[in-house]
């Protein structure tokens, strides 16, 4: 049972490039979400999904897109990378359609934008 798997673990991009951060879970969880964590800060919600075909914006959605075509996968797309998007990105999943259920987090993707 792999839990929540994020790929890649590390990535360096140039300003203006685009890329997709992958997130997959094998627990049949309905709820999935993306957070970013900056040095010395807590996690901030980017986007979330309560089920396949349904996505919504979180606290800091600008510059990011998501889609949820399957229950298992929830990719995060950076449309045109900016230095301000340098951060550690975490994907999480849980049972049900709300955030009160225990969230299962991946180990993160460390992204640097030059």
Partner 1 sequence: LAKTTQPISMDSYEGQEVNITCSHNNIATNDYITWYQQFPSQGPRFIIQGYKTKVTNEVASLFIPADRKSSTLSLPRVSLSDTAVYYCLVSGGGADGLTFGKGTHLIIQP
What are the angstrom distances between the C-alpha of 54 and each of 29, 32, 36, 76, 97? 14, 10, 20, 14, 11
Residue 69 or 98 having the CB closest to partner 1: 98
Task: Please identify which residue in 69, 83, 97, 114 interacts with partner 1, judged by CB under 8 A.
Answer: 97
Q: How far is the CB of 105 from partner 1 (least distance, A)?
A: 3
Extract the tokens encoding 70.
Answer: 């399957």
Task: Please identify which residue in 17, 27, 44, 73 interacts with partner 1, judged by CB under 8 A.
Answer: 44
Task: Please identify which residue in 25, 48, 78, 113 interacts with partner 1, judged by CB under 8 A.
Answer: 48
Q: Please classify residue 73 by burial: count the beta carbons closer than 10 Å to its beta carbon, then call 0-12 exposed, 13-18 middle and 19+ buried.
A: middle
Q: How far is the CB of 16 from partner 1 (least distance, A)?
A: 28
């Amino acid at each position: 049972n792999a839990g929540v798997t994020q790929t890649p673990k590390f990535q360096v991009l140039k300003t203006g490039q685009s890329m997709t951060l992958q997130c997959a879970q094998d627990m049949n969880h309905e709820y999935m979400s993306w957070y970013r964590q900056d040095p010395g800060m807590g996690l901030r919600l980017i986007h979330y999904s309560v089920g396949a075909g349904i996505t919504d914006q979180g606290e800091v959605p600008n510059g990011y897109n998501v889609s949820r075509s399957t229950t298992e996968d929830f990719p995060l797309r950076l449309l045109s990378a900016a230095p301000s998007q340098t951060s550690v990105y975490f994907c999480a999943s849980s049972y049900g359609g709300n955030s009160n259920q225990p969230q299962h987090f991946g180990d993160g993707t460390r992204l640097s934008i030059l």
